[in-house]
């Protein structure tokens, strides 16, 4: 996966904004960050649960690790080239769901 693919996945979700912060692209819903990546880098930090983080790291420690600073909250650092697009889509959607208000989640679930 590339940054551009990650960007497309994030921006396809309802009411997502991309805002540059700390020299990186942050993807937000209602002002809350759910994914961070550098457009010229090969990794991203994605919001997850501690259980998901643990499972991902155990599954593929070369691709997944606890994110710096936010890893204690479940965020996972992802090496983008090692992630299949289908898995990336699930990770991004789950991160968005953890962050979005309930009404937006319902809107996504009702979409055809």
List, in order of start, the domains of the chain with CATH numbers.
Answer: 3-106 (3.90.1150.30)
Cα angle 107-90-12, degrees, rounded to a multiple of 5: 50
Beta strands in 1-112 (DSSP E): 16-21, 24-29, 32-37, 43-46, 64-66, 76-79
pTM above 0.85, yes or no: yes
Full pLDDT tens readout for the chain, 112 residues: 999 999 999 999 999 999 999 899 999 999 999 999 999 889 999 999 999 999 999 999 999 999 999 999 999 999 999 899 999 999 999 999 999 999 888 877 877 6
* pLDDT at residue 109 in the model: 80
Question: CA of 66: how far to CAs of 39, 44, 69, 79, in Å?
Answer: 20, 11, 9, 12
């Amino acid at each position: 996966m590339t940054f551009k693919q990650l960007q497309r996945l994030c921006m396809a979700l309802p009411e997502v904004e991309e805002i540059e912060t700390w020299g990186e692209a942050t993807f937000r819903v209602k002002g809350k960050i759910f994914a961070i990546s550098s457009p010229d880098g090969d990794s991203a930090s994605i919001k997850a649960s501690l259980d998901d983080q643990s499972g991902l790291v155990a599954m593929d420690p070369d691709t997944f690790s606890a994110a710096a600073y936010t890893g204690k909250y479940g965020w996972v650092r992802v090496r983008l080239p090692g992630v299949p697009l289908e898995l990336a889509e699930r990770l991004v959607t789950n991160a968005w769901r953890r962050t979005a208000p309930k009404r937006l989640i319902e809107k996504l679930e009702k979409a055809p």
